[in-house]
């Protein structure tokens, strides 16, 4: 792989809205990394499964290393524009990373209740209407 990629759940309104924020505000001009819904990505080539991608945000680095959930958030911030890099570094600090994991899991479990959330956000991918 030649570029890193952020993989999100394209069926989730919250995830889609946040991916747009990453694309328009976090990502530097140019092709620093790609952003893709897992439903549109070649997951096999990325070393991911639909289940992993449905469960949490995924960051696949150009070297193939995979980071999930709050670690994926940290990696995308580190790869982004200068104002976001320090926050990415802070998220990776051990005690803060554990706390960020708690927050990430709470948001993931409750994303259907958040602004932009849809009922589909509360269902596993296999149970969502097509």
Instruction: Give residue-wise pLDDT tens across range 18-57.
Output: 999 999 999 988 768 999 999 999 999 999 999 999 999 9
Percent of the chain with pLDDT over 90: 73
Alpha carbon distance 72, 35 (integer Å):
12
Longest dimension (CA), the chain: 40
User: Are 58 and 7 within 8 A, CB to CB?
Assistant: yes
**Tokens matching residue 90:** 């802070």
**Tokens matching residue 54:** 């449905």
**Tokens matching residue 105:** 């899991």
| pLDDT of 13 | 85
Alpha carbon distance 38, 49 (integer Å):
9
- What is the pLDDT averaged over residues 86-99? 98
User: Are 19 and 8 within 8 A, CB to CB?
Assistant: yes
Query: Cα angle at 74 between 14 and 55, to 5 degrees?
Result: 45
What is residue 60's DSSP assignment? E
pLDDT averaged over every residue in the chain: 89
Q: List CB contacts of 2: < 8 A, sequence separation 6 or more.
A: 62
Q: Which of the four pLDDT bands, split at 50, 70 and 90, describes residue 111?
A: confident
Higher pLDDT, 130 or 48: 48
The rounded radius of gyration (Å) of the Cα atoms in the chain is: 14
Position 73 pLDDT exceeds 60:
yes
The number of CA neighbours under 13 Å toward the Cβ of 55 is 8
């Amino acid at each position: 792989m030649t570029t890193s990629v952020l993989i999100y759940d394209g069926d989730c309104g919250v995830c889609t809205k946040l991916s747009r924020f990453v694309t328009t505000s976090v990502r530097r001009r140019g092709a620093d990394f790609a952003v893709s819904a897992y439903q549109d990505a070649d997951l096999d080539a990325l070393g991911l499964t639909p289940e992993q991608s449905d469960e949490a945000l995924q960051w696949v680095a150009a070297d193939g290393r995979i980071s999930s959930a709050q670690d994926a958030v940290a990696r995308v911030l580190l790869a982004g524009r200068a104002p976001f890099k320090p926050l990415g570094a802070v998220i990776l600090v051990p005690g803060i990373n554990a706390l960020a994991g708690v927050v990430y899991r709470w948001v993931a479990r409750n994303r259907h209740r958040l602004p932009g959330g849809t009922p589909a956000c509360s269902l596993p991918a296999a149970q969502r209407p097509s």
